[in-house]
Amino acid sequence: MPQPWSRKQMYRTYLEEYSERWSEYFTFKREDGILEMRMHTEHDSAKWSLELHRAFIPALADVGHDPENEILIFSGTGEKFLDSMDPEGWERYGFREPMTFDKGYDFWYFDQVHEPFSLLNLEIPVIGAINGPFFIHQELALLNDIVIASESTTMADGHYTGMGIVPGDGVQTVFRELMGTNRAKYFLLTGQTMQAKELLDMGLIGEVVPDDQLLDRAWEIARTVFKPRARSTRAMTRALLVQPWRELLTRELPTGMAHECWGVHGYWGMAEEGYDIANLKKAED
């Protein structure tokens, strides 16, 4: 039986425990207080699933409760950051069928009003290293303290033009703040794909590096930008810089998710015969 946590012992987590607990979702490596966390699907590029969506919340809580973690590098695996959905996972929970209230609330709303905050609640600096194309949940990369990308990185958003649904899971806030209102609306409504150089020129990321040097550069930043600073300096700087995101998402994320979850009752593409879940495309496309 599980043993109660001692009232005379400060609660914490341990890498050897949570790295095993979350091994089907993330690969962990730590050196000198720097933790590398890479999402994956069967040790290849991650495919977005309902399970992965939910796993971020407790997994990042475990990272945050381990005092041996001083800096986090977050990245993907293989040649893509997040550029495909997991059809089997969506089918497993009945999303091939018409949308119902329980699907919209028990999965989407329940998870997404917490998932960005599981990242923002970390009190250690976070380096986002985008290792290739991604088309959904860009907050996982763009909300971090320093964001770098590989040369092969491309970015699009799959809500409005792919799934045909409301882009309300936070992208309406993230892109408006980073791009400007009209530029963000154009990006979200047209399905535009942006190259790494464009992301750099618009200020969404800080560097573009060769694909095979991405993680090495992330580790270099961890050791030169963050590691020399005092722990308290890192923590307080982090708190200061993420506070605007916390305020904005606290105000806007629940409303955005409510719109997204309500809108899918009018159209839900996955219920259509032949819909390509992996790539978010109708059969005729």
CA angle 124, 130, 134 (to 5 degrees): 125
Domain that holds residue 212: 15-268
Q: What is the pLDDT of residue 76?
A: 98
Structure-token match 């810089």, residue found: 241
| Region for residue 191 given its phi and psi (left: phi exceeds 0; alpha: psi -120 to 50; beta: otherwise) | left
pLDDT at 32: 98
In a domain, 153, yes or no: yes
- For 35-75, the pLDDT digits (tens) are 999 999 999 999 999 999 999 999 999 999 999 999 999 99
- Each residue's pLDDT, cut to its tens digit, for the chain (285 residues) gives 777 878 888 999 999 999 999 999 999 999 999 999 999 999 999 999 999 999 999 999 999 999 999 999 999 999 999 999 999 999 999 999 999 998 889 999 999 999 999 999 999 999 999 999 999 999 999 999 999 999 999 999 999 999 999 999 999 999 999 999 999 999 999 999 999 999 999 999 999 999 999 999 999 999 999 999 999 999 999 999 999 999 999 999 999 999 999 999 999 999 999 999 999 888 775
φ, ψ at 35 (rounded to 5°): -105, 125
Task: Please give the pLDDT value at position 285.
Answer: 55
- Residue 160 tokens, joined: 């409005």
pTM for the model: 0.96
Predicted local confidence at residue 3, as pLDDT: 79
Residue 273 lies in a domain: no
Q: Quick check: is 88 in a domain?
A: yes
Domain presence at residue 83: yes
Given 36, 70, 115, 139, which residue is catalytic? 139
Residue 194 lies in a domain: yes
Q: For position 25, which CATH number holds?
A: 3.90.226.10
- Per the annotation, the verdict on 139 as an active-site residue is yes
* Residue 207, in any domain of the structure: yes
The pLDDT, as a whole number, for residue 2 is 74
* H helices present in 22-168, as ranges: 50-64, 87-92, 101-103, 110-112, 115-120, 139-142
Number of separate domains in the chain = 1
